[in-house]
Amino acid sequence: MFYIHQTSCISPQQTFSNIDIEKVNEFTDNKMYVSEPAYDGIPAGILRRMGKAVRIGVGAALPLIKNAQKIDGIVIGTANGGLEDCIKFLNQIIQYEEGTLTPTNFVQSTANAIASQISLLSANKGYNVTHVHRGLAFENALIDVDMLLKEKPQNAYLLGGVDEISVYNYNIQFLSGQYKKELISNKDLYQTNSEGSIAGEGAAMFLAGGQKEGAIAKLDGIKILHAKDEKFIQQELKSFLKEYLKEGEEIDLFLSGENGDARLNAFYSSCESLLKEKTKVARYKHMTGEHQSASAISLWIACNILQTHRLPSHMVKIENEKKEFNKILLYNTYGNMQHSFMLLSNTK
């Protein structure tokens, strides 16, 4: 696959500056909003016109752009990025009876507004694509970058996943049963035995390239699936590990996308049953909430663990005596249908 050289993340936790994932910020209204930084790199006149998804996406991307020698393209995955501005624009059409409308909401009402704003602010004229595939948007962006780097391994690409909590989309997803009816704390997410999860949002960015030098992690493999049968997912995971693990290699950490939704527990349990006794199991959605690009933040967390060799105790589900982290398996499912496996390894 490819190497990850730098990472950046804006999330409900302290992941952007003075990073500290040992501490968990608490939310009690079933909505986990991001902790936004000051956005020093965005001109004030531009910042005040940005929608939230664009704001956090650009804010997470700028530190990587600033430190990179070159970026040959921008590839973003999002499901709802720009949706809030889209609804505002549609409401304006009714409110002003199709008269003179504010152009800002229109400009930022499409999913590709995030990638385009990053491109404009950085004067990047390279490859610029946004993938919108619900819960597999970020994974499709990963596959896109992998194909690009297979053609030109000397290149470097900005890769990201961004989603926001849109008021309108939240209501639709709540009515469809995706979120819990009872109010809970994110710290109690895994102690509940009811349907639904809690909403989240965030932006995670990665500088990806084909060269090992200076890399902090390597993405060894990725697989995306559509299925409702946990036994099928179990078999697919078995074949995935057989394909990407060399003889004698083992998974040191299984980073699970378990989200407190009782309907999805069977998927995670079936995958955990394949793991060796020495494999640790950890969870992260009490830190991020559930959203379509949560897997992007899980990849950021995995990179952080590989760099620091520290796993916060609040993430641990199944402990063991192994201390080193060299191979991390990430599994996420969204909407009881979309699934992804990612295998990440230490480059040192």
Question: How far apart, in whole angstroms, are the C-alpha atoms of residue 2 and residue 217?
Answer: 9
Count the domains in the chain.
2
Query: Could you tell me if 173 and 246 lie in one domain?
Result: no
Q: What is the pLDDT of residues 21-73, one digit of tens each?
A: 999 999 999 999 999 999 988 999 999 888 899 999 999 999 999 989 899 99
> What is the mean pLDDT of the segment spanning 289-295?
96
Domain containing 23 equals 2-209
- Could you tell me the pTM of the whole model? 0.93
Structure-token match 């939240």, residue found: 170
Domain boundary among 173, 191, 209: 209
**Cβ neighbours of residue 264 under 8 Å, at least 6 residues apart?**
258, 333, 336
Instruction: Tell me the average pLDDT of the chain.
Output: 92
178 and 230 co-located in one domain: no
**Tens digits of residue pLDDT in 191-226:** 999 999 999 999 999 999 999 999 999 999 999 999
Give tens-digit pLDDT for 74-113. 999 998 755 666 777 777 788 777 777 777 666 666 778 8
Residue 154 sits in the same domain as residue 240:
no
Judgement on whether residues 143 and 257 belong to the same structural domain of the protein: no
Contacts of 235 (CB under 8 A, 6+ apart): none
The tokens for 44 are 């004030």
**Which of 153, 187, 209 finishes a domain?**
209
**Do 190 and 60 fall within a single domain?**
yes
- What distance in Å separates the CA atoms of residue 142 and residue 155, rounded to the nearest whole number? 15
Looking at the DSSP bridge assignments, the partners of residue 253 are 280, 328
- The single-letter code of the amino acid at 27 is F
Mark whether 178 and 297 lie in a shared domain.
no
Q: Are residues 151 and 75 in the same domain?
A: yes
Q: What are the angstrom distances between the C-alpha of 303 and each of 148, 222, 299, 309, 338?
A: 22, 15, 6, 10, 23
| Average pLDDT of span 165-177 | 88
- Please give the Cα distance from 96 to 91 (Å, whole number): 9
pLDDT tens-digit map of 217-267: 999 999 999 999 999 999 999 999 999 999 889 999 999 999 999 999 999
